[in-house]
Structure 1
């Protein structure tokens, strides 16, 4: 795309009692409206890179498609800010309740609430057992994620996410929206038929309930973050069988849920 991910802007900077005019790098935002079978489906505000992957991943996570082969045609029209998508078929029930908010039980245990009807329909417990990671794997993957995004290093204004295995990063994506970064990864994997179920998501930001649900829809069993989880995200992770590891920094980390996927030294007495 011709849109830039970042631009230079002049700002007044105050530092140590001195004010000066300097150049600063800021991220850009780009709205893209998804037209699904000639009907307006959703408008996403994103970073203008890997838009096709974003559209594919978003439609899959919303239950509109189940594979890349469900898409008959996909065209991104940059000048109009539109992605025109034609599918061979569409899940009419998921389409009908795409934005319907409800409160319902999670996984039949009546302890957890979903905000959207489609989340309750499409999110299932993770049954595939990830390969066990060592704590050193966790530290190394988080370090690799942080080093992979020059845009974050330049601007501090984006989220980073990566699909990993114990050997390193398979694919990494950057976006102003944390959900978008995950959808771009999902879309890339669907397009290129990359298996996800035995992989790990490394994420730069807070593990919110929305992020946790995205990870569950992608069908990853482990999510790593340098930041904190929310209480709702942890309740969802417990019920959906997802391992959450947070505050991975300074040679320390917290394992919050489903710790069997992380190999640790013996618990100190």
Structure 2
């Protein structure tokens, strides 16, 4: 990591915590942001004395600015910003309330937007930087109906990420904007979903947080646009969009 300063939201557990440990293990310096301060401090203790804990609610724009300010105050610059915080839902489209939908957009889209807008001026001033948004395969192929508004939020996040990449490409070729697309991951995501739901840790073929974190760490070392956390996911996306009526029942 060459002493890179990496800000990670949603760092109190799951993918964010695993990524923090891996970055710190490769001599990177981590800034850990999430609401759960005790858990953040436990992760920081595993990352060494340079780890910076910044308790923050990522759905509040001013909190994301405070995370940036704390990182700059400690380290003087930020090299990589990872918008990893997110939350699922277990409701069909027909069951969604206004608050359900708004919550999915707040946690999964607006939090990332606030992070992007907070760090972008710093990256532009330096002429370089790497912004990584952790999305989901469900943001490409919404084949789990009860994730409904979560699927919609991740589709929106993918679009914003792609548009920011286009926005900075010509004037700032050394600012990289990436999307990471995991499938099921063995974390407490499922049980923490709005409305409850199946435990992601018991899903067949779920990746470990460490596997996904390793993909993100490799992405930091070799920046590019969209990255699937398993090679076969790309083929699944192509197959989905090659179908005339996606999600229709098999009538064969």
Q: Which has the larger radius of gyration?
A: 1
Q: Specify if TM > 0.5.
A: no
TM-score (norm 1): 0.31
TM-score (norm 2): 0.32
Greater per-residue helix proportion: 2
Greater per-residue strand proportion: 1
